[in-house]
Homo-oligomer: A and B are copies of this chain.
Amino acid sequence: MTRKISDSTVRRLSLYLRILEALEREGIATVSSEDLAGRSGTTAAQVRKDLSHFGSFGKRGLGYAVRDLREHLQRIMGLERRWRVVLVGAGRIGSALFDYAGFRSRGFDIVAVLDADASKVGQRWGEVVIGDSASLEDIIRRHCVDVAIVAVPVEAVQGVVDRVVSAGVRGILNFAPTRLRVPEGVALKDVSLVMELEALSFSLSRHASLGP
Contacts and interface: CB of A to CB of B under 8 A. Distances in A.
Contacts of A185: 207
Interface in A73-105: 76-79, 81, 83, 92, 96, 99-103
Given A179-B41, A199-B189, A207 B1 contact: no
Contact of A78 (B83, B102, B204): B204
- In this complex, the interface size class of chain A, counting residues with CB under 8 Å from chain B, is 35 or more
A45 interface: no
Contact of A15 (B18, B103, B178): B178
Given A1-B209, A96-B96, A191-B193, A146 B204 contact: yes
Interface string A100-130: 1111001110000000000000000000000
A204 B170 contact: yes
A173 to B, nearest CB: 6
A179 B102 contact: no
A40 interface: yes
A194 interface: yes
A100 B18 CA distance: 28
Interface in A8-33: 10-11, 13-15, 17-18, 22
Contacts of A154: 18, 22
A58 to B, nearest CB: 21
Nearest to A210: B2
A17 B192 CA distance: 14
16 contacts: A7-B199, A14-B194, A15-B179, A41-B181, A77-B205, A78-B208, A83-B204, A92-B100, A96-B99, A106-B194, A108-B197, A146-B204, A170-B204, A171-B203, A187-B200, A189-B199
Interface of A: 1-2, 5, 7, 10-11, 13-15, 17-18, 22, 40-41, 76-79, 81, 83, 92, 96, 99-103, 106-108, 146-147, 154-155, 170-171, 173, 177-179, 181, 185, 187, 189-191, 193-210
